[in-house]
Structure 1
Amino acid sequence: MSSNAAPGSVPMTETERLESRYPVLAALSAPARALLLKSAQWMRVPAGAMLFDDRQACEGFPFVVEGTVRVSKCAASGRELPLYRVGPGETCIISSSCLLGHEDYNARGVTESDTLLMLLPKAVFDEMMAERPFRDFVFHLFAERIADLMQLIEEVAFRKLDQRLAALLLGKGRLLHVTHQQLADELGSVREIVSRLLKSFADQGLVRLGREQVEILDPAGLRRLSAEGSVKA
């Protein structure tokens, strides 16, 4: 933990870091807070680990203290559509809905980096929902995630793949160290289609392609393409 502490300072404990990420915990009643901390199940998970998968039972409510969890919907063909990411201080809408509805998971969660999280057991989550600050916190972030998912649905349904790819390339710097497969995964598409679109972008002088990298040559052109779309997938 000391790597996150300033020189000469006392390293924060896991509980202190949890509370700094989730200020709502300070608003809980003393008994509720004590129960939550007593029931906390701490987990250190390496990058690339599957936290949950489709049709698995939901065992608890995760609080992410470090790292990022990528939540995706996967098809039997192996294709997947990224739904959202859960970072420190955020919540997982899939976990929330499964706990509230007493249903199994209907998506997959994989760590994108080394992750520290606290899992609140289902029974304790149910008790915490009686606490108004905790309930408001869960439903507020629930509403935010729903808005994000509605935007994703709009992107997939109404924007062409070339527009989405152009938008994905923007805002990541001039040189992106990324594979065509990684871009396809981000877009919920397949590598062959993304490779064809990238070649078209290169032919138009928008990008230069290299081994596992994409160099942005004309960001203004990509922005126009993102807004209008002109390449058929």
Structure 2
Amino acid sequence: MNAAPPRYADLYPALAHCSPHPDAPGSGIAPIQVPAGTELFSENAPCRGFPLVLEGEVKVSRHSGDGRSLELYRVVPGELCLVSSACLFRSQPLSASGVATRPSTLLLIPPPVFNQWLEAPAFRNEVLGLFAERMADLTGLIDAVAFRKLDQRLAAALLGRGQDIGITHQQLADELGTVREIVTRLLRRFEREGWVELAREHIHIIDSAALRTMAAALQA
């Protein structure tokens, strides 16, 4: 079996123990490049393969019938996709959708090859470790959605992005799993308090300390 190229080995060391390796003749696996906004997989569709992100980022979200969406997690180089692996384990349709948030390069591992790779203990342990990490992330997300106030979550979402944020109210609503009208109402309240200044697809942070105080209640 050919040795893994440095790029693969650095990001996914377990691939060194998998057969067939992506570089093996006839493996049918080759890097693909996609622009930002490309839908890589969709909810309720069959899984076409297991994505390994080499460059870029993939946002994984759930969508409701009324058009709302909730971001579950993001996959960056060196990480694995929980939704794709769960779909392949159970041979059931995908439970979420995945969209490239920036120009991305990835490998799409065919389902039969993924199942063969699971026979390698190093790769299987990496996938199972992913489940533990992602479940902890999703438990925190469920806690935030179910038990924390939306104004506190919005304040937290605004922090850490700099003083000037280029984002729409709809994008914030999607991140928080709510509707645009509620986000707009809360942002206008923040503006009346003197914490932010609103413009079209732009938010200027005036009083980050007040936002941090609001967001700190999430930890209470």
Which of residues 39, 59, 64 is equivalent to 1:75? 64
Q: TM-score, normalised by structure 1?
A: 0.86
Q: Does residue 37 in structure 1 map to residue 30 in structure 2?
A: no
Measure the CA separation in 2 of the matches of 1:104 and 1:80.
18
Deviations 1:135-169 (A, max 9, x none): 11111112111111110000000101101100000
Kept after mapping to 1: 8 A contact 2:46/2:94: yes
Kept after mapping to 1: 8 A contact 2:15/2:21: no
Q: Does residue 179 in structure 1 map to residue 168 in structure 2?
A: yes
Pick closer, same or farther for the CA change 1:222–1:89 going to 2, 3 Å: same
Pick closer, same or farther for the CA change 1:70–1:183 going to 2, 3 Å: same
Partner of 1:11: none
Local SS of the residue matching 2:73: strand
Partner of 1:197: 186
Kept after mapping to 2: 8 A contact 1:67/1:87: yes
- How far off is 1:223 after superposition? 1.3
Partner of 1:19: 9
Measure the CA separation in 1 of the matches of 2:30 and 2:64.
31
Counterpart residue identity of residue 37, structure 1? D
Counterpart residue identity of residue 192, structure 1? E
Partner of 2:111: 122
Q: TM-score, normalised by structure 2?
A: 0.91
Which of residues 187, 197, 207 is equivalent to 2:196? 207
Counterpart residue identity of residue 139, structure 1? L
Counterpart residue identity of residue 46, structure 2? A
Gaps of 5+ in 2: none
Measure the CA separation in 2 of the matches of 1:37 and 1:99.
22
Q: State the Cα RMSD in Å.
A: 1.6
Counterpart residue identity of residue 21, structure 1? L
Deviations 1:98-120 (A, max 9, x none): 01111110111111111110011
